[in-house]
Amino acid sequence: DARVTQTPRHKVTEMGQEVTMRCQPILGHNTVFWYRQTMMQGLELLAYFRNRAPLDDSGMPKDRFSAEMPDATLATLKIQPSEPRDSAVYFCASGLVSKHDRGRETQYFGPGTRLLVL
């Protein structure tokens, strides 16, 4: 049963520390998304990649957030330095999109990383 995995599942850190979240997309999927969920804002898109290339990261605070795909099996989201307002659940999702179905792929969500910045 293929699924998206995320690590760590929970992270508590102090303000100013670096946080790295990892995502392993479903094997063969070519699109990876990072979302953030807070009580106030709900779910928001942070960034997404297709074939490992970043297509949109306009949802990320550029000064402190960075997202990369070192290879097809790993996506990372890094916060440096972290702030209390970054406390949220961060979801990774992956999908398989073809040229003909762009915008219509089903996204499969990981379990999320629950981050608390003190």
Beta partners for residue 22, in sequence order: 7, 76
Cβ-based nearer residue to another protein, 43 or 118 = 43
Both tokens of residue 86? 């970054």
Q: Beta strand pairing status for 10-13 and 113-117?
A: parallel
- According to the binding rule CB under 8 A, does residue 44 interact with another protein? yes
Please tell me the total number of residues recorded for the chain in this structure. 118
Q: What residues numbered 52-81 form the site for another protein, per CB under 8 A?
A: 55-56, 59
The Cα 87–Cα 58 span in angstroms is 19
Cβ-based nearer residue to another protein, 37 or 81 = 37
- According to the binding rule CB under 8 A, does residue 28 interact with another protein? no
In three-state secondary structure terms, 4 is coil
- According to the binding rule CB under 8 A, does residue 103 interact with another protein? yes
Q: Point out which span in 13-21, 22-30, 41-49, 60-68 binds another protein (CB under 8 A).
A: 41-49
- According to the binding rule CB under 8 A, does residue 43 interact with another protein? yes
Residue 52, amino acid: R
Q: Considering only CA atoms, which of 79, 76, 77 is closest in space to residue 17?
A: 79
- Interface residues with another protein (CB under 8 A) are 33, 35, 42-45, 48, 55-56, 59, 89, 91, 93, 97, 102-109, 111-112, 114
